[in-house]
A and B are shown apart, each in its own frame.
Chain A
Amino acid sequence: MIDATNQLPLGQARPIRLAKPSVHIPWRSLAVQLLLVAALAWPLVFGQAGSPGEHKSIIHFKNGDWLRGSLAAYDQGAGVTWRHSDAAVPLRFDIGQVTGITLDGTAVGQLAAGNLCEVQLVNGDHFRGNLAGATEQHFLFDTWHAGRMQLLRSAVRKIAPLPKGLRTIFRGPENDEGWTHGKINNETIGESGNWRYHNGGFHAKAAASIARDLNLPDRSRISFDLEWSGAMHLAFALYTDSLQPISLSTKENEPDFGGFYSVQVNSYSVNLLPVKKHEPLTYLGQATVPGFRNKSKSRLEFFTSKPQRMIAVAIDGKLIRKWIDTKGFTGEGSGVRIVHQGRGAVRISNLRVEEWDGRFKGPPTHPIGARDDLVKLINNDRMQGRVAGVDGDRLNVTTPEGGFPVPLDRVKQIEPATSKTAATVPIESRVRAHFSDGSRLSFLLNRWAADGVEAQSPCFGSATFKPGSIMRLEFQAGKSEQ
């Protein structure tokens, strides 16, 4: 076990070629000439079919079938038009059997400075955008993937303004450049391998280590999507100065390394272990995560505050454990190392490393169906009334006591009046899009073309998304969840 003791829980597109028929025929010389002509002509015929990197997308079908290629087009009448490097003409699939399309989208656009908020919708969708205003019926957000969006007020569950001035240190991955693949030498782990980058995520099956010095600040928030199959054993070394894995069972024999925290995540618990050379290993405590047993995907967040000697872990938005290291802050570096212990396959995506203001967000508590908006302030005060609008960086809130302009940096979160039935797209035509920044939006997909993805939803009306912003499309999304 790496970053843990042995006894402890973890601490082508091919160039187009003509298939040359080798056929015995009486007119051989003519055939040879024709073959040559055909061989020269085929690349022209297939010219559109295969530039490198174009065929990393995958279309998935209900019966488990899947095919690599690239999404050429979509419209409701013709279905999915799919390019495959070995087919001369695109394939056109009716969408009835399609469950999803994994796209090779990696573009993450930048938003101009504004009132950046995390937005959560009643249907579970979420995205980040700049809160630009509010009308009688809508909240207005500027997004990087679809420009200005008008969100139906009753469909918005939570708007959490993000503190201004906090740096986003890393967002990705978009490749493995800048990361160090570590060599694992541990007999108990067995065959070691490498993390591999694919479609916006790092994947591992055999034991593998990948690390990067991210210059972690004194207060940091590291968040990512974790998917796994089978058993799951991962160790995250935080505030490490070593980009190579440390075998905890033989740590005294390892090259000198500075102290770090090992957040050990497995299929049923999360544990925190401060690791220092020449010091005994003592866990700070374990938090059981019974929900992991029935899941294969979660969003994890690690919050760290050096001044408070505190590390906390949240899973799917819920804080599950906060540790205070009474002996002082162990982390002596500023890097992160992710070690997969070789049990099951895992994927880490939508990794975001940010400065943190030391404040935890909370899940919405305002009941669905409430008639008033609820505004929670960072000092735990609450305002119940109506968000009348946004004026610059101030939120105008109307309450029975009058109207109040509230600086957005004093707002912890807005929980608008909602309706459970608001803004649902019929499941048969529902497409759920997963964006490369981790956002998720459900809609009716009207058309996919190179110049834009046209969608509509009772929640946001019509919108045109940038095709490169979407990493995955789920068709008839949520059917299996019912």
Chain B
Amino acid sequence: MSGKPAQPTRGFRRSLGLAAVALCFAQALGQAAGRDDLVRFLDGSMLHGELQQVSLGDGVRWARTDLAQPVDFRPDNLAWIRFEGARPVKRQTEPTVHIRFHNGDEVLGNLIALDGQRVQFSTWFNEQLSAPRDVLQSLAFLSPGFRILYEGPTTMAGWRLGRDPKAWKYRDGVFISEGVGVLGRDFGLKGSSRIEFDLQWNGTFSLIVPVYTSSLDRFDYRSNSYMFYISRGYVSLQRVQSGAGVRNLGQGQIPEMQTKNRVQVEIRINRDKAEMELYIDRKLVRKWRDTNGFAATGSGMAFFSQLNGPIVRVSNLRVSAWDGHSDPIQLAVNDGSEDIIFLKNRDEVPGKLKSMDGRTVVINSLGADLTIPLERITRVALTKPQARPEAKRPWEVRAHFAGGAAVSFDLKQWEGSTLTGRSRNFGPVTFESQYIRRLQFNLGTSQKTSETNAGGADQLWPWDD
């Protein structure tokens, strides 16, 4: 998975001859020694180590320095394997649409065409893919300026630590704060932006998130920035302006946080309108507007954990440039009997979607065909087909790529650094393992297992709920 050259196949059981070859596509994965990958089971248990081999016959071979011999785990109870150091995918062109499928797969790519039978699109891993139309759940068109500025964390590199370098540490895709301290990074924020991250905590915590700040390794009221104060149940916003002091812009309540210890946070900042919104678990908590105009002058953000004791964990951080207007990557789930087209002017057009291409969409609404230019559309939500019971496939896995895409497929072979398989949505697929950040198993049940290292076994609540 590290991108090292593939090693010769070692896992075949030669003594069993050809029949064993049929049973076992075992492959040594050619990884660097001492890797720090992480396997997590459905019961929440986890082991760091090194994935040595994936064999449809023997299972997943896992090695650790304190294990006398590598162990083969059957896939039945695996939730996922996280690969440290996955590389961001290489794109030839910037994606224009976020495509989501009913089975949970999602890709960023470019739409080629859609008709009554199939959808065609291109992605970074295949220039022309085709899928049956009824597997398609939604299309969300990305705003013109959409660009992912950061997606991680995957390392401490590029981040600046405050005075106490031990206050924050990186582990398994998570920044963990166990003390008072600052961690910041310059993302080159210029226009409007969206900042998304998962926040997990224990006990009573207090986290300050300065945005559009130039003060990355210290808490500084002399920098021009906006500071979100997030605690268990509350969020408030302060404008900090050099020479003008601090002004509270107001507080929002998040009662849901009283009974949780993990939420998804999204901050949207419209620089032109000096508007800021904070969403918790995709629900708008509070919108602020700075009537004095946008005052921040920096281009970075930071996390400042204020209390000693409680553990704060930040993961799945994504910072993206935003046009400040459209409702970006808002996925629509359509439970109705008609397709729906969402327009930029917030109108909705229900009907039967007939076709799409790179320029227009044709929908039959109230008996008439309407042709709508694509630039007027934000989202398309398609009707959900009747669910068909499908047999569990032990080797159906979902690869999560650095950058947000997730594709499930029946793993057929893992040879060297190349995975091949067959997707229910779009047939044969081939991936380079170096781009895979997480490989999910048992897709139906592993959704409930935390996507990151959720910490050691909770002695006081050793269950996953």
Contacts and interface: CB of A to CB of B under 8 A. Distances in A.
A203 B461 contact: yes
B312 interface: no
A93 B19 contact: no
Interface stretch (B62-70, B111-119, B292-300): B62-70
B69 A14 contact: no
Given A65-B47, A86-B77, A228 B460 contact: yes
B202 interface: yes
A342 B260 CA distance: 11
Interface residues of B, number: 50
Interface stretch (B86-94, B319-327, B450-458): B450-458
B132 interface: no
Contacts of B458: 229, 345
Contacts of B76: 14, 17, 19, 86
A70 to B, nearest CB: 13
Interface stretch (A22-30, A305-313, A361-369): A22-30
B237 interface: no
A96 to B, nearest CB: 6
Contacts of A68: 41, 43, 45
Contact of A87 (B23, B73, B455, B456): B73
A65 B462 contact: no
Nearest to A28: B22
Given A20-B394, A64-B455, A92 B69 contact: yes
A146 interface: no
Given A14-B77, A27-B19, A30-B19, A67 B460 contact: no
B416 interface: no
B457 A58 contact: yes
A205 B66 CA distance: 34
Contacts of B412: 22-24
Contact of A22 (B66, B203, B395, B455): B395
A23 B24 CA distance: 9
Interface in B377-408: 393-395
A116 interface: no
Nearest to A58: B457
A92 B459 contact: no
Contact of B204 (A22, A24, A96, A231): A231
Contacts of A393: none
Nearest to B412: A23
Contacts of A449: none
B461 A19 contact: no
A171 interface: no
Interface stretch (A106-114, A190-198, A250-258): A190-198
Contacts of A102: 459
B459 to A, nearest CB: 7
A205 B395 CA distance: 35
Contacts of B59: 19, 86
B56 interface: yes
Interface residues of A, number: 58
B340 interface: no
A296 B259 CA distance: 20
Interface stretch (A31-39, A173-181, A384-392): A31-39
B46 interface: yes
Nearest to B24: A21
A100 B17 CA distance: 43
A30 B22 contact: yes
Contact of A19 (B203, B258, B310, B395): B395
B202 A229 contact: yes
Interface in A396-453: none
B72 interface: yes
Given A25-B22, A93-B67, A227 B395 contact: no
Interface in A77-134: 78-79, 84-89, 91-94, 96-98, 102
Contacts of A93: 66-68
Contacts of A98: 66
B423 to A, nearest CB: 14
A427 B456 CA distance: 23
Contacts of B21: 25
A227 B460 contact: yes
Nearest to B44: A66
Interface-central residue, B72, B202, B462, by most chain A CB under 10 Å: B462
A102 B68 CA distance: 21
A395 interface: no
Contacts of B75: 19
Contact of A206 (B23, B73, B259): B259
B410 interface: yes
A402 B459 CA distance: 53
Contacts of A12: 43, 77
B68 A66 contact: no
A86 B455 contact: no
Contact of B45 (A25, A66, A78, A228): A66
B148 interface: no
B77 A58 contact: no
B203 A231 contact: yes
A47 interface: no
A60 interface: yes
A60 B458 CA distance: 11
B206 to A, nearest CB: 14
A65 B171 CA distance: 12
Contacts of A96: 66
B443 to A, nearest CB: 15
A227 B459 contact: yes
B71 A19 contact: no
Given A64-B456, A85-B77, A347-B459, A22 B72 contact: no
Contacts of A31: 19, 22-23
Interface-central residue, A14, A86, A93, by most chain B CB under 10 Å: A86
B25 interface: yes
B284 interface: no
Interface in B196-234: 202-204
A91 B67 contact: yes
A67 B45 contact: yes
B312 to A, nearest CB: 13
B45 A34 contact: no
A482 interface: no
A458 interface: no
A344 interface: yes
Nearest to A80: B66
Contact of B48 (A63, A198, A227): A63
A48 B34 CA distance: 31
Contacts of A347: 459-460
Contacts of A79: 68
Contacts of A61: 47, 66
A92 B460 CA distance: 27
Interface in B1-58: 18-19, 21-25, 41, 43, 45-48, 56-57
A21 B45 contact: no
Nearest to B261: A230
A383 interface: no
B259 A342 contact: yes
A346 interface: yes
A229 B462 CA distance: 13
29 contacts: A12-B77, A17-B394, A19-B56, A19-B59, A19-B75, A21-B22, A21-B395, A22-B395, A23-B25, A25-B21, A31-B19, A31-B22, A38-B23, A58-B462, A60-B457, A61-B47, A63-B48, A67-B47, A87-B71, A89-B71, A91-B67, A92-B68, A94-B66, A98-B66, A190-B258, A190-B259, A203-B460, A344-B203, A346-B460
Interface of B: 18-19, 21-25, 41, 43, 45-48, 56-57, 59, 66-69, 71-78, 202-204, 258-259, 310, 393-395, 410, 412-413, 453, 455-463
Given A230-B204, A344-B203, 14 more contacts: A12-B43, A19-B74, A21-B395, A27-B19, A61-B66, A63-B48, A67-B47, A86-B77, A87-B74, A88-B72, A88-B74, A190-B258, A196-B463, A229-B202
Sorted nearest first, the 7 A-B pairs with minimum C-beta distance are: A21-B56, A64-B456, A66-B457, A345-B460, A92-B68, A31-B22, A19-B394
